[in-house]
Amino acid sequence: MTRRRTMLALTAGALALPVALTAGAAATPAAATGGWSSSWASTADTSSPATTLAQVRTIIGADTGAAAALTGKGVGVALIDTGVAPVPGLPAAQVVNGPDLSFESQAANLRYLDTYGHGTHMAGIIVGDDTASGTKGLAPQAKLTSIKIGTARGAVDVTQMIAAVDWVVKHRNDDPANPIRVINLSYGSGGNPPNWTDPLQFAVEKAWQAGIVVVAAAGNNGNGTTKLTNPAMDEWVLAVGATTTNGTDATKDDTLATFTNLSTGGNQVDLLAPGTSIASLRDPGSNIDNTYPSARVGTTLFKGSGTSQATAVVSAAAALVLQSKPSATPDQVKEWLIKGGTFLPTGKAGTMGLLELNVNGALARTGTAVAKPTWNTSSGNGTFELSRGTSHVVLDNTPLSGERSVWGALAAPQWAAKAATQSSWSGGTWMGFKIAGDGWTGTSWASKTWAPATWAVTPWATGATWTDPAWTGRTWSGRTWSAGTWSGRTWSSDDWSATSWS
């Protein structure tokens, strides 16, 4: 497991550099169990050719037949991630900023913006339009709502994810012309909780029941794992694994990516999609852009591999299907996508019967009836700590643990009762904690923005504050991040999903 921790030295205001970084991790990081389900090309391996989004479109059968005319228009996609940056390849008209629930929301110069580089990469796959490279997202006319929960180090607590999902459910119809019908979760917590009580699975099931297709990354711990990450392990969601495309736009040579989690019990991967060396939008000066310069493809693109990328591909495909069939339920969309997939004859995918996404195949099945699933549901009455598992954010050497949210003490059953009636949010207050503004009155580069708020509650670490001196070191200036350091204080998770650098 690759572990990274950063902290603020309380004496002399000095910033400590990351410690407990496994030797050689920059070249070949070990798999971890929670966080963002992606890895980024590094100087250790520059041999893998980039897979363009045009190639991905061909592989998934979206450039011919009925699918070729679809753009995702009229469909809202919620991206719960690390925010998005205003790069030229991301049209402001297609982007809405929901509330920033990340630790960086307390710094005006970082609010809503992607300091890590992950969310921008996902957004590019879905709605990108980069004229410099000719790269176009797979659902370029979908309306993307970005809810930022991760920092420059990818750090996020499971309670931030739960609050974000709750917010999407509450506000899914705020834009009647582009209702949110898809949630992209390129994320997995470090927990392996009981499915019948887990709070995170309860949250995504409530979204599913509200008519939202939840697309979740299976995880990047490898084919030898026995469980998918949470919430992909939930039977209700659409769990996505990645394929290796081997540099071609044919499917006959595509294979199951070796980093994809598989399950020996419980929910298995539902669908595969291209997820190796995907060239999408670069976030200049972001953490990953600075750390892995060899991953750059030209000046505007960046190459990344993981079930994160595959998840974004499937989220875009779900938007295309929903444009074609706007009255479709999440159960219908899931079954059409799964059963309309392409058989892969080579390797483990073939022997396991795992199919690769085929949009035209899914559209061809939209006339078939879909039986209502009878899977078990979560009560939500478990514990947040079991949902976290091994993934804990650390502030001043103090991990966040136990039955509390980032913002204060909170019992899961108390939250579940509110979430069940879509009342966990009231304006900018979630479960009694004022963590965002009260409506669409904020300002940013996006077409519409939810207002911010100053967190009045105190952090879980004794004597700490939400203010980080390092936050002043970076601002978005023009088309890149200004000089500074990402090795700031905090909010570092002690682990997150990774795979071999591609």
Distance CA 290, CA 282 (A): 11
Which residue in the list 37, 38, 118, 387 is annotated as catalytic? 118
**pLDDT tens by residue, 188-211:** 888 899 999 999 999 999 999 999
Distance CA 447, CA 490 (A): 30
DSSP 431-456: TTEE-S-SSS---SSSSEE-------
Handedness of CA 116, 156, 407, 85 (dihedral sign): positive
pLDDT at 291: 87
**pLDDT tens by residue, 463-475:** 888 876 566 666 7
Which residue in the list 308, 315, 492, 493 is annotated as catalytic? 308
Burial class of residue 93 (count of CB atoms within 10 Å of its CB; 0-12, 13-18, 19+): exposed
Distance CA 419, CA 278 (A): 36
Calculate the CA dihedral of residues 459, 153, 18, 218 and round it to 10 degrees: 110
Q: For residue 308, indicate whether it is catalytic.
A: yes
For residue 448, the tally of other CB atoms under 10 A from its CB is: 17
Distance CA 367, CA 353 (A): 23
**pLDDT tens by residue, 64-100:** 999 999 999 999 999 999 999 999 999 999 999 999 9
**pLDDT tens by residue, 12-62:** 222 121 212 222 222 222 333 466 666 554 433 345 789 999 999 999 999
Q: For residue 118, indicate whether it is catalytic.
A: yes
Residue 171 has pLDDT above 50, yes or no: yes
Cis bond upstream, residue 452 (ω within 30): no
CB 314 within 8 A of CB 337: yes
Q: Name the residue with tokens 């479109």.
A: 57
In eight-state DSSP terms, residue 70 is: -
Q: For residue 81, indicate whether it is catalytic.
A: yes
For residue 81, the tally of other CB atoms under 10 A from its CB is: 30
* Both tokens assigned to 190: 């470090």
pLDDT at 129: 98
pLDDT at 9: 21
Give the three-class secondary structure for 309: helix
Pairing of strands 95-97, 448-449: parallel
CB 51 within 8 A of CB 245: yes
Q: Give the global pTM.
A: 0.91
* Both tokens assigned to 236: 């209700």
Distance CA 502, CA 28 (A): 10
Lowest mean per-residue pLDDT among 165-179, 284-298, 401-415: 284-298
- For the chain, the farthest-separated pair of C-alpha atoms sits apart, in whole angstroms, at 67
Residue 281 has pLDDT above 50, yes or no: yes
Q: Name the residue with tokens 């026995």.
A: 226
CB 226 within 8 A of CB 264: yes
Average pLDDT along the chain: 87
* Angle value at C-alpha 84, between 79 and 88, nearest 5 degrees: 125
pLDDT at 148: 97
Smallest Cα–Cα separation from 161: which of 133, 141, 190?
190
Q: Measure CA 309 to chain center.
A: 9
pLDDT more than 70, % of the chain = 85
pLDDT at 498: 37
Which residue in the list 38, 39, 81, 166 is annotated as catalytic? 81
Phi, psi of 213 (to 5 degrees): -75, 115
